[in-house]
Amino acid sequence: MTQRMSLKKLAAHLGLTEGTVSRALNNYPDISQKTRDRVQQAASELGYRANPLARRLATGIAEAVAYIMPENHSTISEPFVAQLLAGLGETLSERGWDLLVTQSVSAEEEADMLHRLITSGRVSGVVLSRPLKNDARIKLLQKAKFPFIVHGRSVEYQDYAWYDVDSKAAFVAAVDHLVALGHARIGFIGAPTYYNFAQMRLDGYKEAIVNNGLPVDPDLIQITELSDDGGELAAGDLLDRKHAPTAFLCVTDTQAFGALAAIRARGLVPGKHVSVIGYDGLRFSRHTNPPLTTMAQPQAHSGRLLGDMLLAIIDGGDPKDFQVLRSAELMRRKSDGPVWVETSETMSKTWEEQT
- Strand-strand pairing, 186-190 and 221-223: parallel
Is there binding between residue 120 and a copy of itself (CB under 8 A)?
yes
Is there binding between residue 99 and a copy of itself (CB under 8 A)?
yes
* Residue of the chain from 34, 143, 145, 242 that contacts DNA (CB under 7 A): 34
Are the C-beta atoms of 151 and 162 separated by less than 8 Å?
yes
- Strand-strand pairing, 221-223 and 293-296: unpaired
* Residue of the chain from 22, 154, 199, 275 that contacts DNA (CB under 7 A): 22
In the complex, least distance from residue 22 CB atom to DNA, rounded to whole angstroms: 3
Are the C-beta atoms of 163 and 151 separated by less than 8 Å?
yes
What stretch of H or E contains 103? strand 98-103
Are the C-beta atoms of 125 and 147 separated by less than 8 Å?
yes
For residues 54 and 324, which CB has a smaller minimum distance to DNA in the complex? 54
The C-alpha atoms of residue 129 and residue 122 are separated, in whole angstroms, by 19
Is there binding between residue 52 and a copy of itself (CB under 8 A)?
yes
Is there binding between residue 102 and a copy of itself (CB under 8 A)?
yes
The C-alpha atoms of residue 76 and residue 69 are separated, in whole angstroms, by 14
Question: Binders of DNA: how many residues, by CB under 7 A?
Answer: 33
The C-alpha atoms of residue 205 and residue 320 are separated, in whole angstroms, by 28
For residues 8 and 287, which CB has a smaller minimum distance to DNA in the complex? 8
Is there binding between residue 62 and a copy of itself (CB under 8 A)?
yes
Is there binding between residue 115 and DNA (CB under 7 A)?
no
12 contact choice in DNA, a copy of itself, none (CB below 5 to 8 Å, kind-dependent): none
The C-alpha atoms of residue 266 and residue 336 are separated, in whole angstroms, by 17
**Which residues contribute to the site for a copy of itself (CB under 8 A)?**
4, 49, 51-54, 56-57, 62, 67, 69, 73, 75-76, 78-79, 81-83, 85-86, 89-90, 93, 98-103, 105, 116, 119-122, 228, 257, 260-261, 282-284, 286-290
